[in-house]
Chain A
Amino acid sequence: MSTVYLSNPALTINSVNLTDQATSAVLTYVFEQLETSAFGDTARKFGGAAVTSLQNNTFEVTLYQDYSAASTEATIFGLVGIQTTIEVSPTAAGLTSPSATSPLYTLADCYLESHTPINATLGELSTITLTFTGGTLTKAVA
């Protein structure tokens, strides 16, 4: 077993590689919990072989704000209120050549509800935190 010190992850938002602007990324894979307990049960049950619930995934990312061409603001501003696709991998190589040790996670058709184009404090680098919700998550290892 090896524990990952995540120093070189890579991500794309709407196919645009913003790895060099990212400082944190959290992908949460969720299937909603549906109760399937019934009479006769002695403990609560959730899910089951015949019960498939909805995915309810989220992806939260923090980026440095950059107003230059083809960078953060140019990529993000137009995504608010529409669906897009996120790709994220523990390594840069995983974006193009995923493997078992460097899987590629793709969150397709996720939704960006809000964005803070201006988030500035005197003397600090401007950052934005985005939360993409919904969408279907897939994991590629080859």
Chain B
Amino acid sequence: METYLVTSDRLIFKRGDIVTAKDLEHVNIPLLIGGGHISPQGVKKSAKTKDTETEKDY
């Protein structure tokens, strides 16, 4: 489920809290993001590892 970081003091949640879309039911989430109240928390991908051992055939 999508999560959001609270970045405003104007929500009933505290600044710094992580909330879910369910916590924001019936609320227009894009407007909260646009208004600077919350920020989407993307899923962090692990860094790609480069295989330096494999030799390429030319």
A residues near B (Cβ < 8 Å) are: 12, 14-18, 69-71, 74-75, 78-79, 82-85, 95-96, 108-109
Contact call A14/B36, Cβ cutoff below 8 A: no
* Majority secondary structure, A binding face: mixed
Contact B12 A17 (CB under 8 A): yes
Q: Contacts A69-B36, A74-B36, A108-B26 known; A14 to B8 CB distance under 8 Å?
A: no
Interface SS majority for chain B? loop
B5 within 8 A of A: no
B 1-44 to A, binary, CB cutoff 8 A, 1 in contact else 0:
00000001011100000000000101110111011110000000
Interface residues on chain B, size class: 10 to 19
Residues on the B chain within 8 Å of A74, using CB: 34-36
B28 touches A84 (CB 8 A): yes
B37 contacts which chain A residues (CB < 8 A)?
A: 15-16, 70
Closest chain B residue to A87, Cβ basis: B12
- Whether the Cβ atoms of B12 and A14 lie closer than 8 Å is no
Instruction: List 20 additional contacts besides A70-B35, A70-B37; criterion CB under 8 Å.
Output: A15-B12, A15-B32, A16-B8, A16-B10, A16-B32, A16-B35, A17-B10, A70-B36, A71-B10, A74-B35, A75-B31, A75-B35, A78-B28, A78-B31, A84-B26, A84-B27, A84-B28, A85-B26, A95-B12, A109-B26
